[in-house]
Structure 1
Amino acid sequence: MSDSHYIGIDVGTGSARAALISSTGEILALATKDIKTWNDKPDHYEQSTKDIWESIAYCTKQILKESGVAKESVKGVGFDATCSLSVLDAETDEPISVVEGFAEPERNVILWMDHRPVEETKKINATNHPLLKYVGGQMSIEMEMPKILWLKNNMPADLFNRAKFYDLGDVLTHLATGAETRSFCSTVCKQGYVPVGIDGSVKGWNEEFLSSIGLGELAQNEFARIGGVDNVSGKYLSAGQPVGELSVKAAEELGLAPGTKVGSGVIDAYAGWIGTVGAKVPGETQEGMGEAYTRLSLVAGTSTCHLVMTPEAVFVPGVWGPYKDVLLPNQWLAEGGQSATGSLLHHVVTTHPSYTATLASAKSENKSIFDYLNAHLTTLATKHPSNSISYLARHFFFQGDLHGNRSPIADPQMRGSVVGLSFDTGVDNLALHYYGAMEFVALQTRQIIDTMNRAGHRIDKIFMSGGQCRNSVLMKLLANVCDMPVYIPKYIDAAVVLGAAFLGVVAAGDGKEGLWEVMRRCTGECTVVDVERKEGEKRLLDAKYKVFLHMTEAQRQYRKEVDEALGEGEWWKEEK
């Protein structure tokens, strides 16, 4: 074993994880601990930096204990986290409450999936400010400026004026080192920061934009409350560049050695790109950075992010970005996304009348309910001459934007719809609904890829990460619907935390080895799911894609017609 080891820390929606890796990228130990989420009101989700940090500390101590590795051999640490808004007191560094009432400081994180700032998001996008073109034409309700504006509109003024704001990944590097350094990843991707030199950007932050949306006070003191001006009153770094060293306090809490290097963090989905896209494809020779430009990273969990790098800016309406410098200096990244994928499959299965009985059957066979349903679908398909699961659902049409649409239409008001309901409530019907949800995930992925390629991207491969990689039916659907191979990483469930660990490798090397070089050296080989379908199935899936696009547009048209009929007034009050 090498004398050097590295730790990746991943904070997802529901848990924190830590992985200890060798200098060649082998995972030697992995630990997970749940984190707490409050959901007192619909669309309101809060977390706690204190609770998250304690969960991280448990995990780091656990992996050292499990591996037997001495803390002194850990040379670098990297963080990734959800793109959630974290709030601390600018004077005391203590948490500030973000929950209505603002009396519970522990609840100081507004989770990414929180959709409370509906009106604030509308106000921001109504400005049509030029910088919005770098976030797909409009800010998402899941980004952080709408959440900051909501806090201003609802928080006591004196409390808001004391608050400083971080992306969750940046607050973790702050807690680890004491530095106020921010990552390009968080600020460019989610907060409206435009790197200096792009479109005349002088300070990164745009004072005129902040004033136009009602947050002009954030420009005071050279934007100190949101990170400052790069190389003037603040510091901004690309992924893995050294932020600093673990403080004595943080090192003690994490069970690590003071002075351990800490790399600039990234949003969790971006760590998935780092942990997968550099993988070696069996039978292919390495071609340098050009490979990255054709590889779409699908980071699948509760939601799914679609990430691809380009050497130049490529603008795609409804797709976030292009973002410069967020992972590699002078490279651009675009981010599409689906607001609900894993959570969609879970919801569809667990709310069906046959869920309880089917779960019992799955447990009796020592299977997960998803494996059980996949096997059931395969059995049903063998009863038809086509032997095709797709054929079973030929007249079942599922639109699954239950939590709004992130890409490519960027419509938070989208909701789900189904055509093909019946009175059947048995396991066959549950399997049909489950398959319909998977088909939706694949069809919408194709829509995102088609939209990006029409705009100038060159995507021809999908690199997956996350537990959905284990779902063979879904992986085959993605390959067949999108008509391109799907590559599965060596560490299916740990690609994101592996990517975070690579940030620690880069930080410990002090720039001697770039991120792409670390990725190519340490990611390992992947396996491939090839496109395999008969001509009839191709026609079927192409037809289902046309129906999916029609259902999406039809829903938007239905809402438009009803809204036009109601007009601007509150007609129910007028008629009283």
Structure 2
Amino acid sequence: MYLGLDLGTSGVKALLIDAMQTVIGSATAPLTVSRPHDGWSEQEPADWISATKAALAELREVHPLALGAVKGIGFSGQMHGATLLDASDEVLRPCILWNDTRSADQAAALDADPQFRALTGNIVFPGFTAPKLAWVRDNEPEIFKRVAKVLLPKDYLRLWLTGEHVSEMSDAAGTSWLDTGRRQWSDALLGATDLSVDHMPRLVEGSDVSGQLRDVVADELGLDRGVVVAGGAGDNAASAIGMGTVSPDAAFVSLGTSGVLFVSNASYSPNPDSAVHAFCHALPGLWHQMGVILSATDALNWYAGIAGRSAADLTGALGDRLQAPGDVTFLPYLSGERTPHNDAKVRGLFAGLSHGADQAALTRAVLEGVGFALRDNLDALRSAGAAPAAVSAVGGGARSDYWLKLIATVLDLPVEVPADGDFGAAFGAARLGLIAAEGLEPTAVCRPPAVARRIAPEASLRDAFAAVHLRYRALYPAVAAI
């Protein structure tokens, strides 16, 4: 058996697979986000451990023998979070998460230093890890002086499980400290934030062994001693492993809390001016590009809370037939935006409201706004050399057929829906645990799932959505100006 642990923003998921990659069972435990100030987003690392224990306890109740037979563990995790430890590995402050935008000024200052884009292949976004440390240095100097290690969220779970300070390439590429082409920490970039390689974890590839389970933790969790722990991956790279998105120009669209358009690359292809992320993949010798929007299902869930209905009810009420875009346009910039704007301070907007703008019209506007944001991502990816011919759909939002039809039409690309099964980040993490434990060839393990159906763009609505996308794009400069 092989275990995948996916540390997300809203919860921890534990998933078991066997040697044939059949899912045996899964369990989840929730997490909450603290937002003490506008633009802030934090979590307590201790809560990640508690949630992991809770998920594994639930899994153990149903599958005790399978959990006891685990030979390898892999990780997936929310990226970019700054987990600060002192010399005794004690947490110094709540982790600053990926969607925290307080460090916009520090990010701009680092990005103005040309070596950051040159070495990382990316803009220094406020959500990345390096500007967070610069913010702590500038605003919490006593804490900064005590920092001995900086870990990404999933790597804090690894420390608890193995006692090792280790990260891997796909997650490290989102810190703004990695020389992404060379797959190693950069002394120069760390020095620019008054840190050194000594503050960083050791680096491995995602499919490599990073350590073994500590005896005391194994006994507590009901696992065998000496279980192999793989390097793992950042959440999007882990989803790519789960979906088998490892060949050139293979792509997926993820409708999770954030939205991602991900394309696999056989070589390192940076183009930071496009605001596209160029990161290491979770497998050796591979890279990937992705466009990121900060609020995808997060935008729908926000509106659902205001409407007093579930997101599923709102989308289900639209029916199955894709409708032409309406008069209301929604900008999903609830936490700022990354691709293509790199604007931490911009905020969302409903435009074109009238007396006829009912609940269904606003629901459609939210779904369309996320679709248009993903189209902006596709345009940016194409400017960076990506050429996907189709995209697979993953994430909670992919359960809405209406949304998938809309996205296929807005992107003007077929959307492939995998056959029933769990092929997301937790499954990808379990696959990495399998590869590390058994020494298997990664590409032989990371095969795409069967396609249940292919959603083609609605040709009759293509021009209408293209026209409203232009209206959508024209709104950003106006909103950014105020």
Q: Distance in 1 between matches of 2:472 and 2:116?
A: 32
Summarize the alignment of residues 407-486 of structure 1 with structure 2, pairs less than 5 Å apart: 407-424=339-356, 429-486=358-415
- Please point out which of 8, 20, 26 is paired with 2:22: 26
Letter of the aligned partner of 1:49 in structure 2? P
Deviation of 1:493 (Å): 5.9
- Is 1:297 the equivalent of 2:234? no
Q: Distance in 2 between matches of 1:155 and 1:309?
A: 39
- Is 1:402 the equivalent of 2:334? yes
Q: Distance in 1 between matches of 2:322 and 2:161?
A: 52
- Is 1:193 the equivalent of 2:170? no
Q: Distance in 2 between matches of 1:158 and 1:541?
A: 50
- Please point out which of 40, 44, 57 is paired with 2:36: 40
Judge conservation of contact 1:45–1:110 (CA < 8 Å) in 2.
Answer: yes
Q: How high is the TM-score relative to the length of structure 1?
A: 0.78
Deviation of 1:534 (Å): 4.1
- Equivalent position SS for 2:475: helix
Q: How high is the TM-score relative to the length of structure 2?
A: 0.93
Cα deviation, 1:355-374, whole Å, max 9, x if unaligned, reads: 24xx3xxxxxxxxx444333
Q: Who is 1:224 aligned against?
A: 198
Judge conservation of contact 1:377–1:431 (CA < 8 Å) in 2.
Answer: yes
Q: Who is 1:390 aligned against?
A: 324
- Equivalent position SS for 1:244: strand
Cα distance change on mapping 1:159 and 1:321 into 2, 3 Å: closer
Cα deviation, 1:100-146, whole Å, max 9, x if unaligned, reads: xxxxxxxx32222122222222221222x233246565211111111
Q: Distance in 2 between matches of 1:161 and 1:370?
A: 44
Unaligned 5+ segments in structure 2 are: none
Cα distance change on mapping 1:163 and 1:259 into 2, 3 Å: same
Judge conservation of contact 1:480–1:533 (CA < 8 Å) in 2.
Answer: yes
Letter of the aligned partner of 1:337 in structure 2? V
- Please point out which of 270, 275, 278 is paired with 1:322: 278
Cα distance change on mapping 1:455 and 1:52 into 2, 3 Å: closer
- Please point out which of 116, 119, 127 is paired with 2:105: 119
Q: Who is 1:153 aligned against?
A: 138
- Please point out which of 412, 435, 445 is paired with 1:518: 445
Deviates more, 1:28-37 or 1:489-498: 489-498
Q: Who is 1:339 aligned against?
A: 294
Q: Who is 2:454 aligned against?
A: 529
Cα distance change on mapping 1:372 and 1:46 into 2, 3 Å: closer
Judge conservation of contact 2:68–2:222 (CA < 8 Å) in 1.
Answer: no
- Equivalent position SS for 1:390: coil
- Equivalent position SS for 2:403: helix
Letter of the aligned partner of 1:440 in structure 2? G
Deviates more, 1:469-478 or 1:247-256: 247-256
Q: Who is 1:86 aligned against?
A: 83
Q: Who is 1:378 aligned against?
A: 319
Judge conservation of contact 2:291–2:339 (CA < 8 Å) in 1.
Answer: yes
Q: Distance in 2 between matches of 1:388 and 1:445?
A: 18
Q: Distance in 2 between matches of 1:495 and 1:163?
A: 33
Q: Who is 1:179 aligned against?
A: 164
Q: Distance in 1 between matches of 2:256 and 2:342?
A: 19
Q: Distance in 1 between matches of 2:171 and 2:317?
A: 42
Q: Who is 1:59 aligned against?
A: 55
Runs of 4+ in 1 over 6 A off after TM superposition: none
RMSD: 2.3
Deviation of 1:185 (Å): 1.6
Deviation of 1:340 (Å): 0.3
Summarize the alignment of residues 359-370 of structure 1 with structure 2, pairs less than 5 Å apart: 359=309, 369-370=310-311
Judge conservation of contact 1:466–1:494 (CA < 8 Å) in 2.
Answer: no
- Is 1:238 the equivalent of 2:205? yes
Paired positions, count = 480
- Equivalent position SS for 1:378: coil
- Equivalent position SS for 1:87: strand
Cα distance change on mapping 1:268 and 1:10 into 2, 3 Å: same
Cα deviation, 1:177-231, whole Å, max 9, x if unaligned, reads: 1122221122222232115748xxxx63233x3444xx23x12xxx21123xxxx
Cα distance change on mapping 1:177 and 1:337 into 2, 3 Å: same
Q: Who is 1:309 aligned against?
A: 264
- Equivalent position SS for 1:114: coil
- Equivalent position SS for 2:19: coil
Cα distance change on mapping 1:416 and 1:458 into 2, 3 Å: same
Judge conservation of contact 1:470–1:492 (CA < 8 Å) in 2.
Answer: no
Q: Who is 1:564 aligned against?
A: none
Summarize the alignment of residues 202-281 of structure 1 with structure 2, pairs less than 5 Å apart: 204-207=185-188, 209-212=189-192, 215-216=193-194, 218-219=195-196, 223-227=197-201, 235-278=202-245
- Is 1:13 the equivalent of 2:22? no
Q: Distance in 2 between matches of 1:30 and 1:525?
A: 21
Q: Who is 1:104 aligned against?
A: none
Cα distance change on mapping 1:10 and 1:124 into 2, 3 Å: same
Q: Indicate the structure (1 or 2) with the bigger Cα radius of gyration.
A: 1
Q: Who is 1:102 aligned against?
A: none
Judge conservation of contact 1:57–1:255 (CA < 8 Å) in 2.
Answer: no
Q: Distance in 2 between matches of 1:466 and 1:14?
A: 13
Cα distance change on mapping 1:23 and 1:158 into 2, 3 Å: closer
Letter of the aligned partner of 2:341 in structure 1? I
- Is 1:508 the equivalent of 2:475? no
